[in-house]
Amino acid sequence: MFKNILLATDGSAHSQRAVEQAIQMVSPYKNEVTIELVYAVDGEVSKEDILQYGDSHTATIKRKEKFYETIKEIEANGLTADITILHGDPAESIIEYSNERSYDCVVVGSRGRNKLQTLILGSVSHKLMKYIKAPVMVVK
């Protein structure tokens, strides 16, 4: 059973769908499940957030606040939820973080880029699938 779930999110609608899928997937035993949301901040986002919020502490609080709604939604369904903020390249930092710990399952939303965009920009979900040791579920 997937009880200890890591859910990579970027706050987008695709990540929201991943949250809903994850909740549905574990609904038979939902009271035993913890979903840890993980959000990675890269250099560009750091720059924008520091300009907007002034310092790292405030920026971190503001970033966590963005996910309070999602956490409330998960907890309303009877699961336990938490949010972790990582720093660095999204794919690399999430892979490292999840491989250092043991999760039963890692869930990630797929943004649905077209072939050209994927070719140029690469796909975070693809990298996660390839390098994370735990089972990975990509929600389309």
Partner 1 sequence: MSAQTLKEQWFGNVKGDVMAGIVVALALIPEAIAFSIIAGVDPMVGLYASFCISVVIAFVGGRPGMISAATGAMALVMITLVAEHGLEYMLAATILTGVFQILFGVFNLARFMKFIPRSVMVGFVNALAILIFTSQLQHFVDESWIIYVLVGITLAIIYLFPLLTKSVPSPLVAIIVVSFIAIYMNAGVRNVGDMGDLSQTLPLFAIPDIPLNMETFMIILPYALALTIVGLLESLLTASIVDDMTDTESNKNQESRGQGLSNIVAGFFGGMAGCAMIGQSVINVKSGGRGRLSSLVAGVFLMFLILALGNVVVQIPMAALAGVMIMVAIGTFDWSSLRNLNRVPKTDAAVMVVTVATVVYTHNLAYGVLAGVLLSMIFFAVKISKVRVLSLYVNEGRKKIYYVQGQLFFASVTDFVSSINFKDEVDLVEIDLTQSHLWDDSAIGALDSVETKFEQRGIEVQFKGLNGESSRLLNRLGGISKDASH
| Shorter beta-carbon distance to partner 1: residue 46 or 80 | 46
Decide if residue 131 touches partner 1 (CB under 8 A). no
Per-residue contact track with partner 1, 26 to 45, x per CB under 8 A?
A: ---------------x-xx-
Q: d(Cα 3, Cα 13) in Å, to the nearest integer?
A: 24
Q: Minimum Å distance from CB 105 to partner 1?
A: 26
| Shorter beta-carbon distance to partner 1: residue 24 or 58 | 58
Residues 6+ apart with CB under 8 A from 44: none
Q: Which helix (H) or strand (E) holds 5?
A: strand 4-8
Number of residues interacting with partner 1: please give it, by CB under 8 A: 20
Which residue in 28, 55, 114, 115 binds partner 1 (CB under 8 A)? 55
Q: d(Cα 106, Cα 104) in Å, to the nearest integer?
A: 7
| Shorter beta-carbon distance to partner 1: residue 4 or 46 | 46
Decide if residue 100 touches partner 1 (CB under 8 A). no
- Phi first, then psi, for residue 96 (nearest 5°) are -60, -45
Contact 3, 103 (CB under 8 A): no
